[in-house]
Amino acid sequence: MGESASCKVDLMFSETPRQESLRSSIETVSALDASLLIVLGFGGFSIVVAVLHNAIHRYVYRDQHSLDTVFDAGGKVTTSLTAVTVASQVLWPVDLIQTSVIALKSGIGSIMFYVIGMSLVMVVFPIITIHFKTKAPGAKTYPQIVYARFGKSAHIVYCCIALLTNAVTLTAMILTGTYTLEGIVPEMSSELTVLLLVFLFGSYCFIGGLGAAFYISYFNTCIMFVALVIFTSMFIFPNSNADHRNSTDISVMYESVKCVKGPSSNAKESFLTFRSFSGVVYGIVVFFMVLALNCCDQAMWQSRIATKPQQGVTGFFIACFLYLGIPISLSLPAFLSYVSMSYQNGSYLLSPLDTNNGFLTPLVMEDTLGRPGEYLLIMIVFMALMATGSGEIMAISSILVYDLYKVYVCPFRETYSPFSCPLCGNLKYAREGGTCSCIPATECPSCQDDVNLSRSNAPLYKLKYKCPLHGEYRHYEDMLKDYKSWCIIWISLCLVPFGILMTSLKLNVNWVTFVMETLLTPFISPLILTFTWSKCTSKGVISGVISGSLASVAALLLVAETSYDKGLSDFFTNTSADYSLFASCISGLLISTLITVGVSMVTHSIKCGADVDEEWAKLFYIDNPLNPWRNLYEDELKNIQKDRNLCISDMEFIFRKSRKIAYIVGVLITILLVVVMPASLLQYEELNADQLYNYMLVFFVILVLGTIYSVFVPPIEEIIKIKRYRKREVRDTKEEEVALNSY
């Protein structure tokens, strides 16, 4: 430990790409084997799970006929299933592959700060979700809220932002999957990889909708946890694999990594320190970058919409701890092993391009576990790809259905507005008369036969609904459900040429992930203010988005040009560097916030409390007359008369407990992540071998506990939920029989 930084070896990268070397060392998995594993293993299994989900909702809950169920999974997803799904969706393959690349730039501290930044997003988002669910409990997409408050101009802007975010996410997914398979299966063409990925993304979405995605996310998370436990145990208990002792024994790796020169900004120029300024910068960038992604990506909102506030808040906090141990358990051992192997080699084994494209982890997995390691990495990465990619397809479909088709292409009424009744056209809320008096379909005696008919397996063109009030709209929803299916098909087909184009451009995965997502940060403040601040206006939102985007791009280019060697001539490297990302992130967020607030203060028309109530009522009355959101909260609203008009204050009062939990627990976890964890690790200038082992052991224990929770708790809770529903259904049937007999 007393060795000076000057004694450290400064390893050089390979001057030429190591593709041929990789191909010669990793040729045990054939393209046929990998294709069969992906199609029959992952794809076939996911289709079976989707069919199982459909059977449960057809024969138990009997709500499969509903369009909303396709996009919100019934709205009653359990706490544990929410937790594993959120952890699975937040866990991008990039977290598994690229965090080890970041460590090569900033040391092991960057992995910790990266994980802290990601975890903080899961702490903040329950608070944002509470506002969303209490103010717009019937909304299925976040652009619906923008449209309800601000009209078509801001709505179109955020529909474009949502679709852009989906495109960025899918690009990162496709590139990660392609480069991962390229590192493991050299003979696999990028075109075949894209086809396999699209098949995985679209197959079970088409069959089971969002609910199937929740079930698949459960199995994905279980398999990822088990696979990571197997991989990490090779380093925690190295004697169990004597053939690879040099690349898995922590003491051997430590002695090698200690001798390699790390970033100059790190303490003692060491990789084995948490005192890394660059690592802190990456952590800050990741927080805002992922917060922007969570806010702008409809796929992220779908998981929040599918659960009630209390289950959603609790599920998010559990997901935070589930996620905590995953990236560190894979990327830290992979990074240490790679640097150790490179030190013994005399130079880094990969070129900068190969490193940025994520070949580091495949190389280590193959060296550590041989052929099983290759299959293990395919399972880990493609399980994460399935969870994220399918969610993106469902997100695009929901935006096309709810925000484009229903509003602009084929609205049920030409005078459609989010706060008017689609059945009669009257306003649901107004200060002076003109309110709607239509009864919901669940209370309409004429609708019972139509509901039974819709639950049948008859083709849509044979369904003849008889209810004079709801029948025509029920036909309209059937048409939308059919349109949804075609959306999934066409989106999947369009992804094939899109994916082939992206892979043919040979884009840098690291650049796509960090730069493109960082450029989304100007969209955070206008969107959050949309459903938290009554004085926010359409002009404020649009001007904030535009000005923030310009500031973000300008700061990125300016810092990349002035702060790094070669400037913009080395475009992909310098624009994805830490200070460039930090400047882009902060400037975009700051300018968009100031402009949105400033313009809104000048243009708003809020003068009294009644104006505030009317503004929020626009969101409160986003609803479906066939499936009113009030039915979803019948247990929570049982003490409120059914004929009473609810208001925002009612929902805030009912879910005040969830709000308190979100704020109090959020603050406590923030203190743990931002203060306790860094303080306990920053006291060490450079870790010794025992400290490094203990650090890995702590997160291995967290990983094992997360595995136990993820494997056992969701199915138990789901079975209990089904039994309670069946018991309640039997009780209601008996009560109806008693009432009929009495009559």
Residue for token pair 């057809």: 58
Q: How far apart (Å, rounded) are the C-alpha atoms in residues 607 and 535?
A: 10
The per-residue b/e assignment along 595-615, b for 16 or more CB within 10 angstroms, e otherwise, is bbbebbeeebebeeeeeebbb
Contact 380, 94 (CB under 8 A): no
Mean pLDDT within 26-53? 65
Within 8 A by CB and 6+ apart from 729, the residues are none
pLDDT of residue 161: 94
> Residue 276: helix, strand or coil by DSSP?
strand
Round to whole Å and give the CA distance between 170 and 232.
Answer: 29
Domain boundaries, the chain: 8-403+477-518+665-711, 521-604
State how far the Cα of 279 lies from the Cα of 154, in Å rounded to an integer: 37
The architecture (CATH level 2) of 8-403+477-518+665-711 comes to Up-down Bundle (1.20)
Listed ranges 90-94, 497-501, 591-595; the one with the highest mean pLDDT: 591-595
The answer to whether the CB of 471 falls within 8 A of the CB of 60 is no
pLDDT in tens, 106-141: 888 888 898 898 888 888 888 888 888 888 888 888
Residues near 653 by beta carbon (within 8 Å), at least 6 away in sequence: none
pLDDT score recorded for residue 420:
76
Model pLDDT, residue 733: 63
Reading the block at residue 546, the tokens are 């535009």
Burial of 439 (0-12, 13-18, 19+ CB in 10 A): middle
Q: Nearest-CA neighbor of 519 among 570, 588, 575?
A: 588
Q: How many helices (DSSP H) and strands (DSSP E) are in the chain?
A: 34, 0
Residues in the chain: 743
Q: What's phi and psi for 260, nearest 5 deg?
A: -95, 135
Mean pLDDT of the chain: 80
**DSSP 3-state of 9:** strand
User: Which single residue is written with the structure tokens 């960090």?
Assistant: 514
Using CA atoms, how far apart are residues 8 and 272, in angstroms rounded to an integer?
12
pLDDT of amino acid 234: 82
pLDDT, tens digit, 9 for 90 and up, residues 541-553: 999 999 999 999 9
Q: pLDDT tens across 238-273, in order?
A: 654 445 455 567 888 888 889 888 888 888 888 899
650 burial via Cβ count (<10 Å: 0-12, 13-18, 19+): middle
Q: Which of 294, 374, 377, 293 is nearest to 331 (CA)?
A: 377
Least confident of 64-68, 203-207, 287-291: 64-68
Looking at residue 521, its pLDDT comes to 93
Given this model, what pLDDT does residue 156 score? 94
Separation CA 11–CA 346 (nearest Å)? 7
For residue 416, what pLDDT is reported? 66
pLDDT at res. 385: 77
For position 588, what pLDDT does the model report?
93
- pLDDT tens, 379-407? 777 777 777 777 788 889 889 988 998 88
DSSP character for 569? G
How many other C-beta atoms can be found within 10 angstroms of the C-beta atom of residue 487?
22
- Quick check: helix, strand or coil at residue 98? coil
Q: In this structure, are residues 391 and 46 in contact, taking their beta carbons and an 8 Å threshold?
A: no
* % of the chain residues with pLDDT over 70: 82
pLDDT at 1 > cutoff 50: no
Assign 66 to helix, strand or coil.
Answer: coil
Q: Which residue has the tokens 């899961």?
A: 122
Strand partners for 266: 276
Q: What is the pLDDT of residues 424-445, one digit of tens each?
A: 877 766 554 557 777 877 778 8
Phi, psi (5° rounding) for residue 439? Answer: -85, 150
Answer yes or no: are the C-beta atoms of 726 and 60 closer than 8 Å: yes
CA distance 567 to 584: 16
Type of residue found at 612: V
Asked if 366 contacts 457 with a C-beta cutoff of 8 angstroms, the reply is no
Q: For residue 4, what pLDDT is reported?
A: 45
Name beta bridge partners: 276.
266
Residue 215 · residue 49 · CB < 8 Å: yes
Q: Report how far apart, in Å, the C-alpha atoms of 411 and of each of 415, 434, 490 are.
A: 8, 21, 21
pLDDT over 90 for what percent of the chain?
Answer: 15
Q: Any idea which residue has 């894209």 for tokens?
A: 194
738, HSE (Cβ side, Cα atoms, 13 Å): 6
Question: pTM to 2 decimals?
Answer: 0.83
Check pLDDT > 70 for residue 43: no
**Cα gap 727→646, rounded to integer Å:** 29
